[in-house]
Structure 1
Amino acid sequence: MALDIKHLDLDTGEVWVMGKGSKERRLPIGRNAVTWIEHWLDLRGLFASDEEALFLSKLGKRISARNVQKRFAEWGIKQGLNSHVHPHKLRHSFATHMLESSGDLRGVQELLGHANLSTTQIYTHLDFQHLASVYDAAHPPR
């Protein structure tokens, strides 16, 4: 919610984010996400707001964290999930999917901005099938 337009560089596909302890870091933005952000910026312009925030409410003001939490809970219920669906779950899903597709725990740690690898491990939830395939790849049958 604290993301401002000035934190984006859509030409290079980068975003600057502020982490815990006021640590700033640069992260990549995928091409598909850049396309959607550009589309959003076109729509956002219809609000004619001087607000620097990337994400705005219907009133043209910075969207609040609480408002986003409420929306996630509503969407979760509509999808038949429990109301414990919250934005932070996206971070867990991102970490798990990145680790499953790359196998690079250290890279996931950097993307999440964690100082300790043990913190990153909490975010990653690998299922048994994935673990079995990793084992099989490392120990092929003779």
Structure 2
Amino acid sequence: MTITLAAILSLVTGLIGAVFGHALSEKKSRNDELAKMRLDAYTDFLKATSLLVSARRSGRTQDEIAELGALNDAKARICVCADAEVVEALESFWLQGGTLEKEQEIIAYTNLCRAMRESLGRDRLAYEIRLSDILFRLEPSTYSFRNDDA
């Protein structure tokens, strides 16, 4: 009787362990896939925003349909898969104007980048780190303009 009970108990314990392990594995797989989707959406948004801002700063004021499509696609994916803080920061940036031409837009974009970083599990950056300077200074401070005539 005790041998049968021990065998049944071992079998039940093994089944519970297998089901629990499978559930944890599935959850980790979903979380990994969501993290990749989130990273891809962030990357695509940052790239599309950078392209549009660079075009504006170089004097091209007409947006290309493909560029706007890529931006809106990335925004939609962020709204679907990002943490609430990131979606709120995106909303703030977008409602400020979303062009990075005014100071409040630059601040909102900087806050969006901080929120994206934190949602990916990175440490919170100290506010004394001048992220706006890193993001928006077009040339490094030691950049030397080379004269083509020389």
Please tell me whether Structure 1 or Structure 2 has the larger radius of gyration of its CA atoms.
Answer: 2
**TM-score after normalising by structure 1:** 0.25
Which structure has more RCO (C-alpha within 8 Å, separation ≥ 6)? 2
Q: Which of the pair is proportionally richer in strand?
A: 1
Q: Which of the pair is proportionally richer in helix?
A: 2
**TM-score after normalising by structure 2:** 0.24
